[in-house]
Amino acid sequence: MATGKNTDGDLWALARAERARLAEDLANLTDEQWQHSTLCGDWTVEQVLAHLTAAASLNQRQWLRSMIGARFRADVHNQRRLDEYLGDTPAQTLQQFRAVIDSTTAPSAHTAAYLGEVLVHAQDIRQPLGLPRTPSSEALVPVAEFYASHNFTVPSQTYADGLQLRATDSSFTTGYGLLVTGPLLALVMSIAGRAAYLDQLAGPGASTLRSRVQRIPFNPSERTPGAGSVAQ
């Protein structure tokens, strides 16, 4: 499922590039940094990376089998898959992530959502560590478009409903209603439920978006991308 002018091939190429950049950023972390907290609930840097590896390793059949085994409890599914791809050491966890950099495996055809998984979780790691790299605008635009029009792993469409999102660092605009402005990355992360980015937003709709994110908080362990989980 392509978004805008991007084909699935384009989106997977962007995902591969962003995975490679994240692996590069994490190559020289200290043991303490690997156990640092993230924007992803209680998960550490190493655990978020293992989650990304798991997300790139399950096709639709494997995802469904795992969910059935977990009795469709997303938190149980996520924890089991995270444990499966968590290495004995951070170096091994990173090695396993590098092995899936070129992966196009996913539980469903919503490719923009899986690109979003990479972008958002990368920032879940980078922001608390103070790592300066940010995703490319080419990657952020299709994710912003998808998130504004779908509830997938997070209720991003619900967060953005009735708001116009306008980037201050690109030509990106989507939606109708109260205006929310800010850097494109901050818009994406905010409608992905990351409250740490809300202070970068302005406009008459910014307070509405803040109240929604605070009212419906993001819990990564309770959400999992998979076939049939998208509200169109």
CA torsion through residues 216, 38, 15, 135, sign: positive
pLDDT number for residue 229: 41
pLDDT surpasses 60 at 220: yes
Please state the separation of Cα 192 from the chain's center in Å: 7
Q: What residues are paired with 164 via a beta bridge?
A: 179
pLDDT (0 to 100) of residue 225: 55
Structural element, H or E, at residue 182: strand 178-182
- For 163, which DSSP code? E
- Quick: pLDDT tens for 144-196: 999 999 998 889 999 999 999 999 999 999 999 999 999 999 999 999 999 99
Q: Where are the alpha helices (DSSP H) in the chain?
A: 8-26, 31-34, 45-55, 60-69, 74-85, 90-98, 111-129, 137-149, 156-160, 184-191, 206-215
Looking at the predicted structure, is the pLDDT value of residue 70 above 90? no
User: What pLDDT is recorded for position 76?
Assistant: 75
| 211 pLDDT higher than 70 | yes
> For residue 113, what pLDDT is reported?
95
The predicted structure's pLDDT at residue 224: 57
Q: Give 78-130 pLDDT, tens digit per residue.
A: 778 888 899 999 999 999 999 999 999 999 999 999 999 999 999 999 999 99
pLDDT tens for residues 5-62?
Answer: 789 999 999 999 999 999 999 999 999 999 999 999 899 999 999 999 999 998 878 7
**How much is the average pLDDT of 131-148?**
96
